[in-house]
Amino acid sequence: MDSEPGLPLPQRYWAIAVIALGVTLAVLDGAIANVALPTIARNLNASPADSIWVVNAYQLAITISLLPLASLGDRIGYRRVYMAGLALFTVSSFACALSGSLAALTLARVVQGFGAAGIMSVNTALVRIIYPHDQLGRGVSINASVVAISSVIGPTVASGVLSVATWPWLFAINVPIGVAALAIGWKSLPRTPGHRQPYDYISAIMNALFFGIAIVAIDGFGHGEHRPYLVGEIIVTAVIGYFFVKRQLTQSAPLLPVDLLRIPVFALSVGTSVCSFCAQMLAFVSLPFLLQNNFGMSQVETGFLMTPWPLVIVFVAPMAGVLADRYSAGLLGGIGLAILTVGLVLLANVGAHPSAFDIAWRMAVCGLGFGLFQSPNNRQMLASAPRHRSGGASGMLGTARLTGQTLGAALVALIFGFAPKEGPVIALAVAAAFSAAAAVVSMLRLTGKRSAEPA
């Protein structure tokens, strides 16, 4: 693929630094808001139930706008979408810091979510431009490492800021970082050509309705929403989804990349991603309950014992990225997800009185498996799409991750509703089943060519 030489040095390093900064801000703001919710609720005189919208508004805005913004990136260039998203995120962070009511903060978080979607929808498409084809796995692994590091330090950053300042500073600290990233990105991010096809606004609206109502339905299913409402949401989602997909089949560059899903290796990579992130979220949500309620550990101990999982990813992801440039993603992903399955089974059977070491090394096994899978899988999703559809592939990558995470969180709520005491162990067993399914789907990629990698 000589037509994909990547950026020259040192511009490549500056460009990937801007990508890393943007992704860090987007991921951190999802994590720090969770920790700060009780403080925000008290300060704004809001109920705990209402304050949840500070988190939900951000996540929902990201989910419904990822694919529309990725499609827009294919049309007007990935740099423009990324820079606009980063600018919107920075300005809305300032608005969050100045919010004096829950309604104002929630509205600012919606806008911030759209900014984060601009960042996340095209960041991997930009990585494909920044790095030469034979080093693409290394570039993708940097994203995986950044996400893992941000996940690790998110609660720590929030706790540190809240120990010396008020909650608005959680959002205010984004502003100077965002301004610096914009300044560097203006000079270093590559300009990419788009195409002149008109933007499909009807599909964008249908996409927002489909994913928005689907997420509400999945969440309602997990939290025991009244059946008539749930059935109604499912019917509406199915009807919109039918006409949405039907419309996409008539488009040459559809917003929902059904054209890419016709590529077997791409479709299998998406399936692998959904199942694996579902497994991860099942574990991440249920483990604190297992450690605190079943084993009597403190919040500090819980945070410490969960750290080996993402910490190992930080070290494994770069190695996996290098291997992904040489070996099949189907094989690497299958091995990694098999290791993750073993780790989850070991955690589910850790016993009634485990030591800290018993838990920590099992967490590390899970991190090893997930880290070995993630970079190769992401690389293959990007490389198997035509170059001019990198935005669609990048958006689908994020959508698959969010879909898996949403499904995993809903399944935990459902399991806990049926079996409150045994719920964490059951959730880990279900997570192992999803991980094993992901391993099988990943291995199916070995039956065909390593990568479609069209020009």
Q: 408-452 pLDDT, tens per residue?
A: 877 887 888 777 778 889 999 999 999 999 999 999 888 754 444
What does the DSSP 8-state code read for residue 422? Answer: T
**All structural domains of the chain with their residue ranges:** 1-199, 201-250, 263-455
Q: What is the pLDDT of residue 430?
A: 94
Tokens of 302: 């819980």
Structural fold of domain 1-199: Growth Hormone; Chain: A; (1.20.1250)
Structural contact between residues 420 and 265, judged by C-beta atoms closer than 8 angstroms: no
Can you give the pLDDT at residue 261?
Answer: 84
Residues of the chain with pLDDT under 70: 1-4, 34-35, 48-49, 151-152, 155, 194-196, 222-225, 299, 448-455
8 A C-beta contact, residue 131 and residue 138: yes
**What's the pLDDT at 452?**
43
Q: Assign 3-state DSSP to the chain and report helix, strand, coil percentages, each to 5.
A: 80, 0, 20
> Residue 37 CB: number of other CB atoms within 10 A?
17
Instruction: Calculate the CA 386 to chain-centre distance.
Output: 22
> What pTM did the predictor assign?
0.79
CA 189 to CA 32: how far, in whole Å? 28
Note whether 1-199 and 263-455 share their fold.
yes
**CB 125 within 8 Å of CB 78:** yes
Q: Can you give the pLDDT at residue 1?
A: 39
H helices, E strands: number in the chain: 18, 0
Q: How far is CA 404 from CA 149, 223, 280, 434, in A?
A: 20, 17, 9, 10
Q: Which pLDDT score, from 0 to 100, does residue 4 have?
A: 62
pLDDT for residue 212: 85
13-42 pLDDT, tens digit per residue, is: 899 999 989 988 988 887 777 667 777 888
3-class secondary-structure state, position 198: coil
- pLDDT for 365 equals 95
Q: What was the pLDDT predicted at 356?
A: 87
- Domain 263-455 falls in which CATH fold? Growth Hormone; Chain: A; (1.20.1250)
**Is 85:115 a contact under the CB 8 Å cutoff?**
yes
Among 394, 144, 349, 373, residue whose Cα is nearest residue 275: 373
**Continuous segment of H or E residues that includes residue 61:** helix 53-76
